[in-house]
Amino acid sequence: MKTLKNKKTGCLLGVVAWILIAGGTYAEEKEDDRFPLGCHDTGYKKQLRILTLLPGAAGERNSMYFIYNKLPESVNLYHMHDDEQHFNVYLNHKLSSKRWAVFSTNEKKVKFICTVADRHLDYGKIIDCNDALAVCEYTKVKFGLNNRGNLWIVNGNTKNGAIREVVRYGIIPAY
């Protein structure tokens, strides 16, 4: 009788622990798609399936963007050059499912086209960036002297992980 009671108690404790762990993970995932504190829904436009970052529109020209992949699959961001950007480096990037990337730029305008993997097409199938990505901008950012320019600061992480990587990199997101 006593061992049966101990087994029931142990089983009950195991179920309660599993519910607490699973609930915490679900809460983290649910919160992970919201913009970080101080990151504003500004400084970009999504038009004709293209994501255009406009750093000087809402704040300083040197801006930092948090970009979230809403899709259940990886999204490729291909940098599109204008006529005046012939000699610039391409800033292509692959963002994993449900992950955050952080991009810093001091250009007037940066355009990306979004694709997903397609075995019949070399560069993937073009999709609407509006459906795939959530974007926000830190308009007031403190950059160290060596952290200026165009670069992907975070390749793909959770929201909190991306914030930690940015701070570790020496950039202070102010709000």
Q: Tokens standing for 55?
A: 């750093």
Contacts of 23 (CB under 8 A, 6+ apart): none
pLDDT score at 170: 85
Residues spanned by the domain of 13: 1-31
- Rounded CA separation 137/159 (Å): 14
Contacts of 88 (CB under 8 A, 6+ apart): 81, 107, 150
Q: Are residues 69 and 25 in the same domain?
A: no
Structural domain tally of the chain? 2
pLDDT score at 10: 46
Q: Are residues 25 and 64 in the same domain?
A: no
In a domain, 38, yes or no: no
pLDDT score at 24: 41
In a domain, 37, yes or no: no
Q: Are residues 154 and 97 in the same domain?
A: yes
Q: Are residues 57 and 124 in the same domain?
A: yes
In a domain, 155, yes or no: yes
Nearest in space to 29 (alpha carbons), one of 68, 66, 64: 68
Kindly list the averaged pLDDT for each block of 10 residues, start to end, along the chain of length 175.
Answer: 52 41 45 87 93 84 92 96 72 95 91 95 94 93 77 94 92 76
Q: Are residues 53 and 102 in the same domain?
A: yes
